[in-house]
A and B are shown apart, each in its own frame.
Chain A
Amino acid sequence: MPAPDPNFNPDPAPADTGVTRRSFLRTSAVLTTGLAALAASLKPLLEMNDFPTAERFLQKYYKEMTPDDMAKVIRRIENEVERQYGIRPHVRDLKPMDGVEFVYCLNLTRCIGCRKCVHACVAENNPSRNPEIQYIRVLRLPHGSLDIEKAEHNYAPESVPEKGYFYMPVQCQQCKNPPCVKVCPVHATWQETDGITVIDYDWCIGCRYCEAACPYWARRFNFTKPSIPKERLNPEMSYLGNRPRRQGVMEKCHFCIQRTRAGRYPACLEVCPAGARKFGNILDPNSEVSYILKNKRVFIQLKEELGTSPRFFYYFDV
Chain B
Amino acid sequence: MTRAIRNYFVFLRRCARIAFVGDWRYYAWMGALTVICLLGLNAYARQFAQGLIVTGMSDEVSWGVYIANFTFLVGVAAAAVMMVIPVYIYNNEELHDLVIFGELLAVAAILMCLAFVTVDLGRPDRFWHLIPGIGQFNFPASMLSWDVIVLNGYLVLNVYICGYLLYCRYQKKKAAKWFYIPFVFIAIVWAISIHTVTAFLYVGLGGRPFWNSAIVGPRFLASAFTAGPALIILAMQVVRRVTASAPPAEASRAREGAAAPRQPSSRPATLADLELLACHLREMESVSGEVREGILSGATVLKAGAGDVLLRQGETEDRAFFVLEGRVVVKREEHGRFRITRSVGPGEQFGEISALAGSPRAATAVAEEPSLVLRLSADSLRRLMKNPRVNKIVRARMSERLMITDRALMTLRSIVQVSMLINVFLLLNEVFKEFYSGNLHVASSRYLYIGLHGHHALVPWIWTAIAFNLVAMVLLVLPVSRSLRWLNVTCVLCIVGIWIEKGMGLVVPGFIPTPLGEMVEYRPSLNETLVCFGIWAFGLLCYTVFLRMSVPILQGRLCKANEGQNGRGTGVTALGAAAEP
Q: Which of A5, A148, A150 has the most CB of B within 10 A?
A: A148
- Measured between alpha carbons, how far is A203 from B137 in the docked complex, in Å? 12
**Are A217 and B514 interface neighbours, CB within 8 A?**
yes
B57 cross-chain contacts in A, Cβ below 8 A? 223
Contact with A along B540-581 (1 / 0, CB 8 A): 000000000000000000000000000000000001000111
A6-23 to B contact mask, C-beta < 8 Å, 1/0: 101111000000011011
CB of A208 closer than 8 Å to a CB of B: yes
Q: A70-78, A103-111, A177-185, A260-268: which one contacts chain B?
A: A177-185
Q: Which of A43-51, A86-94, A281-289 contacts B (4 or more CB under 8 A)?
A: A43-51
CA gap between A48 and B371 in the complex, in Å: 64
Q: Does B457 sit within 8 A of A, measured CB to CB? A: no
Tell me, yes or no, whether B45 is within 8 Å of chain A by CB.
Answer: yes
The stretch from B200-208, B225-233, B482-490 touching chain A is B200-208
Question: Is the CB of B383 closer than 8 A to any CB of chain A?
Answer: no
Q: How far is the CA of A98 from the CA of B122 in the complex (A)?
A: 35
In the complex with contacts A208-B63, A248-B52, A149-B440 CB distance below 8 A: yes
Size class of the A contact interface (CB-based, 8 Å): 35 or more
Do A52 and B39 touch (CB < 8 A)? no
Across the interface, do B126 and A43 meet the contact criterion of CB distance under 8 Å? no
- Distance (whole angstroms) from the CB of A67 to the closest CB of chain B: 20
Given known A3-B251, A5-B248, A6-B249, contact A187–B516 (CB-CB < 8 A): no
List of B residues within 8 angstroms of A151 by Cβ: 516-518
Residues of A within 8 A of B145 (CB): 185
Q: Residue of A at shortest CB range from B249?
A: A6
Chain A residues near B579 (CB-CB < 8 A)? 11, 19, 22-23, 26
Q: A97 CB to closest chain B CB, in angstroms?
A: 25
- Cβ-defined contact, A4 with B129, below 8 A: no
What is the CA–CA distance of A144 and B431 in the complex, to the nearest angstrom? 30
Q: Check if A206 sits within 8 Å of B122, measured CB to CB.
A: yes
Which B residue's beta carbon lies closest to that of A216?
A: B515
CA distance A73 to B271 in the complex (A): 87
Q: A186-B129, A248-B51 are in contact. Are A43 and B517 (CB under 8 A)?
A: no
Given A203-B136, A217-B514, A224-B51: A307 and B143 within 8 A (CB)?
Answer: no
User: Do the beta carbons of A183 and B205 come within 8 Å of each other?
Assistant: yes
Docked-complex contact A186 and B122, CB < 8 angstroms: no
Instruction: Check if B514 sits within 8 Å of A179, measured CB to CB.
Output: no
What is the bound-complex CA distance between A37 and B41, given in angstroms? 10
Decide if B53 touches A150 in the complex (CB within 8 Å): no
- B199-217 interface code vs A (CB 8 A; 1 in, 0 out): 0010011111000000000
In the complex, are the beta carbons of B42 and A43 less than 8 A apart?
Answer: yes
A223 cross-chain contacts in B, Cβ below 8 A? 51-53, 57-59
In the complex, chain B residues whose CB is within 8 Å of the CB of A216: 207, 515-516
Given A45-B49, A216-B516, A221-B59, verify A185-B137 contact (CB < 8 Å): yes
A4 and B334 alpha carbons, distance in the complex (Å): 12
Nearest-CB residue, chain A, relative to B255: A3
CB-CB under 8 A for A185 and B130, given A4-B23, A4-B251, A148-B517: yes
Q: Which residues of B contact A139 (CB under 8 A)?
A: 516-517
Closest to A250 in B: B122
Give the chain A neighbours of B143 by CB distance below 8 A. 183
Q: A248 contacts B123, CB within 8 Å? A: yes
Interface residues of A in 205-239 (CB under 8 A from B): 205-209, 211-217, 219-225
Q: How many residues of B contact A (CB 8 A)?
A: 73
Among A20, A44, A57, the most chain B Cβ lie within 10 Å of the Cβ of A44
Nearest B residue to A38 by beta-carbon distance? B38
Looking at the assembled complex, report how far the CB atom of B453 sits from the nearest CB atom of chain A, in whole angstroms. 10
A199 interface residue per 8 A CB criterion: no
Which residues from A are CB-within-8-Å of B34? 34
Find out whether the CB atom of A212 lies under 8 angstroms from the CB atom of B41: no
Q: Does B265 contact A (CB under 8 A)?
A: no
Is A306 part of the binding interface, using a Cβ–Cβ cutoff of 8 Å?
Answer: yes
Query: Which chain A residue lies CB-closest to B453?
Result: A149
A41-B45 CB under 8 A given contacts A4-B251, A182-B141, A307-B206: yes
- Contact indicator A184/B138 (Cβ below 8 Å): yes
Asked if B126 and A203 make an inter-chain contact with CB atoms under 8 angstroms apart, the answer reads yes
B511 and chain A: residue at smallest CB distance: A212
Considering the chains assembled together, what is the distance between the CA atoms of A81 and B494 in angstroms?
54
Which residues of chain A have C-beta atoms less than 8 A from B514's C-beta?
217
Partner of B135 from the list A186, A209, A303 (CB cut-off 8 Å) is A186
The reply to whether B24 and A147 contact each other, CB–CB distance below 8 Å, is no
Most chain B Cβ neighbours within 10 Å, of A1, A3, A43, A147: A3
- Within 8 Å by CB of B581, from A6, A9, A19, A47, lies A19
A44 contacts B125, C-beta separation under 8 Å: no
**Which A residue's beta carbon lies closest to that of B577?**
A23
What's the nearest-Cβ distance from chain A to residue B208, in Å?
Answer: 7
B443 touches A (CB below 8 Å): yes
Q: How far is the CB of B309 from chain A (nearest CB, A)?
A: 16
**Contact (Cβ within 8 A) B122 A247:** yes
Task: Tell whether, in the assembled complex, residue B207 and residue A215 are in contact, meaning their CB atoms are under 8 Å apart.
Answer: yes
A137 within 8 A of B: yes
Are the C-beta atoms of B125 and A57 separated by less than 8 Å?
Answer: yes
Contacts of B130 in A (CB 8 A): 185-186, 205
Interface string of A134-162 (1 = CB under 8 A from B): 00010100000001111101000000000
Question: In chain B, residues 428-467, which have Cβ atoms closer than 8 Å to a Cβ of chain A?
Answer: 440, 443
Nearest-neighbour CB distance to chain B for A111, whole angstroms, equals: 16
Q: Compute how far the CA of A47 lies from the CA of B127 in the bound complex, rounded to whole angstroms.
A: 22
Q: Residue B356 at the A interface, CB < 8 A?
A: no
Q: Is the CB of A303 within 8 A of B248?
A: no
CB nearest neighbor in B for A3: B336
User: B interface vs A, CB < 8 Å?
Assistant: 23-24, 27, 34-35, 38-39, 41-42, 45-46, 48-53, 57-60, 62-63, 117, 120-127, 129-130, 135-138, 141-145, 148, 201, 204-208, 248-249, 251-252, 255, 333, 336-338, 440, 443, 510-511, 513-518, 575, 579-581
Chosen A-B contacts, 22 in total, with CB atoms closer than 8 Å, are: A1-B336, A3-B248, A3-B252, A3-B336, A3-B338, A8-B248, A10-B24, A22-B579, A38-B41, A137-B516, A185-B142, A186-B136, A206-B52, A206-B121, A206-B126, A208-B63, A208-B120, A212-B511, A216-B207, A217-B514, A222-B122, A306-B207
The 4 A-B pairs with the shortest beta carbon distances in the complex, nearest first, are A206-B122, A215-B207, A248-B122, A6-B252
Q: 5 more A-B contacts (CB under 8 A) besides A6-B255, A8-B575?
A: A41-B45, A44-B42, A212-B63, A221-B62, A307-B206
